[in-house]
Chains A and B, each alone.
Chain A
Amino acid sequence: MIRIENICKSFDGNVVLESISHEFYPGKTNLVIGRSGSGKTVLLKILVGLLQPTTGKVWYDKVDFSTLDKKQVREVRMQVGMLFQGSALFDSMTVEQNIKFPLDMFTNWTTKEKLDRVNYCLERVNLEGVNTKFPSETSGGMQKRVGIARAIVLKPRYLFCDEPNSGLDPKTALLIDELIKDITYENQITTIVNTHDMNSVMEVGDNVMLLSGGKIAWKGNKSEIIGSDNEVLQDFIFASPFLKRLRVAALEQQKTKEGKK
């Protein structure tokens, strides 16, 4: 579990996050949603230690992340996997070398053991036979899947995904969502996903936190979204007239069902 307590972050006096406290549970896809500029990425960078909060604490289970020295931070990070918005695959390495990199760096496994693990991870993300391709020779969706394979290769306890669906078509985005959800459930890891993709929220949002203007505007899960009367949430989730009509229809359907009962 990851717990954050009163996280505040400001850059040159400009407040980006204000008193954020929340718990992210293992075995669940924890979503941080919000409009662009709401502070999602800053929060994610604070969670993984790439940025220091102005005030507040981040707990990885019982470990206070903010009190660790650089060596201890690296030890915690070896239990962390992260999928970046732009995948962050190393251009000069093949897909196989990209996924194998953490194994080369941190394990003493034999070459065969490493290759078996790489192939297992590739199989897990439904990408087989692309070992020798370079990232530039693969599509955006494939790069995301390679990113996920690299993130899970060391069997992390915590998985972070920054906008995993950005730039992907709806079908591929759904595939990535399902993959993240399955991996989370299978391995009972604590997954935190930053997204503003509504399909993701409704598909995999076990534990959702909405950020608006650097503050928590709403907390809940995907089944509570449609019925919620939180204006910020409704403005964000059902931003387009089409989605607003869908919501009205869904609520009417719900009322009809309840009336029949």
Chain B
Amino acid sequence: MNFNLFYHFGRYVSMMGQALTKPEKFSMYWKETVRQMEAIGVGSVIIVVLISIFIGAVSALQFCYQLDGQLVPMYYVGYIVRDLAIIESAPTITCLVLAGKVGSNIAAEIGGMRQKEHIDAMEIMGVNTAAYLVTPKVVAAIVVIPLLVTIAAFVGIIGGYLASVPAGYLTDMEYMRGLRAYFDPYNVTIMYVKATVFAFLITSISSFYGYYVTGGSIELGKASTNAVVIGNIFVLAGDYVIALLLT
């Protein structure tokens, strides 16, 4: 791996500069964006639901365990699970998972096109390949990932309920009271800011690694891995920066 950060950053900015230009034909870009929305959104619902339900369940059980026998009222479990889901687990964990699933997919797709000369073929036709291959993915992710994060937040809260109430750790009334307690709508804003920023980072970084891939299948594998690793690092760094700025 070449660690020349300025070189990579320059190429990333150059690619994004080309990507964010006027489309040759809007209808073609729209068609591609809808296709990507389906691939990123519909294709990720099941994994997002599964992960969120378990994270919600584990959070609830952990707090039930830690608050049991303390002076803190048990309805706080609902309150903590709700805010944890909205502020942290739904946007961050979901996007870390999507950086793996969607990021590797995008890097492999674009990298495969580079290796099979599909990108060269489009360039020679006169297509702005950075725009046609990257922009629809970024736009689709910015629309769809916040929706997935919304689902993740709801499912996480339901997961917390299913793990704690039927097991008898707290009552249905206590959990509901916790969910309603101290609700601040600003937290939902933070959640959507995080989801949007992470969606941009995941798709643009993985597109970058795919777009500039050279060599054969080993390099394509490395590019896919780098897309996931660097995507995850940027999601976590972005999480810290947003937390610093918005809270």
Residues of B within 8 A of A104 (CB): 25, 27-28
Task: From the candidates A70, A80, A85, A90, name the one contacting B124 in the complex (CB within 8 A).
Answer: A80
By the criterion CB–CB under 8 Å, are A86 and B116 in contact? yes
Q: Is B68 among interface residues, defined by CB-CB distance under 8 A?
A: no
User: Which of these binds chain A: B85-93, B125-133, B182-190, B191-199?
Assistant: B125-133
By the criterion CB–CB under 8 Å, are B124 and A105 in contact? no
Q: Is B24 among interface residues, defined by CB-CB distance under 8 A?
A: yes
By the criterion CB–CB under 8 Å, are A105 and B121 in contact? no
State A80–B125 Cα separation when bound (angstroms). Answer: 7
Residues of A within 8 A of B125 (CB): 77-78, 80, 101-102, 105-106, 154
Report A's interface with B, CB cutoff 8 A.
Answer: 48, 50, 70, 74-75, 77-78, 80-82, 84-86, 88, 90-91, 101-102, 104-106, 154, 160
Mask for B108-134, Cβ within 8 A of A = 1, else 0?
A: 000000001110110111111000000
Residues B126-175 near A (CB distance < 8 A): 126-128
Residues of B within 8 A of A78 (CB): 125-126
State A75–B128 Cα separation when bound (angstroms). Answer: 11
Q: Is B44 among interface residues, defined by CB-CB distance under 8 A?
A: no
Distance from A188 Cβ to chain B, minimum over Cβ atoms (Å): 20
Residues of B within 8 A of A154 (CB): 125
Q: List 9 A-B contacts (CB under 8 A).
A: A48-B124, A75-B126, A77-B124, A82-B124, A84-B120, A84-B121, A85-B117, A88-B117, A106-B125
Q: Is B18 among interface residues, defined by CB-CB distance under 8 A?
A: yes
Distance from A158 Cβ to chain B, minimum over Cβ atoms (Å): 10
Q: A74-B126, A80-B125, A86-B117 are in contact. List 18 more A-B contacts (CB 8 A).
A: A50-B124, A74-B128, A75-B126, A77-B125, A78-B125, A80-B124, A82-B124, A84-B121, A88-B116, A88-B121, A101-B125, A105-B24, A105-B125, A105-B126, A106-B25, A106-B126, A154-B125, A160-B124
7 smallest CB-CB distances across A and B, nearest first, come from: A78-B126, A88-B121, A88-B117, A77-B126, A74-B126, A82-B124, A102-B125
Task: From the candidates A90, A105, A160, name the one contacting B118 in the complex (CB within 8 A).
Answer: A90
Report B's interface with A, CB cutoff 8 A.
Answer: 18, 24-25, 27-28, 116-118, 120-121, 123-128
Task: From the candidates B25, B116, B117, B123, name the one contacting A77 in the complex (CB within 8 A).
Answer: B123
Distance from B180 Cβ to chain A, minimum over Cβ atoms (Å): 48
Residues of A within 8 A of B120 (CB): 50, 84, 88
Residues of B within 8 A of A106 (CB): 24-25, 125-126
State A84–B121 Cα separation when bound (angstroms). Answer: 8
By the criterion CB–CB under 8 Å, are B123 and A84 in contact? no
Which partner residue on chain A sits nearest B128 by CB separation? A74
Task: From the candidates A50, A75, A86, name the one contacting B123 in the complex (CB within 8 A).
Answer: A50
Known: A48-B124, A78-B125, A80-B124. A105 touches B25 (CB 8 A): yes
Residues of B within 8 A of A160 (CB): 124
State A80–B128 Cα separation when bound (angstroms). Answer: 15
Distance from B67 Cβ to chain A, minimum over Cβ atoms (Å): 52
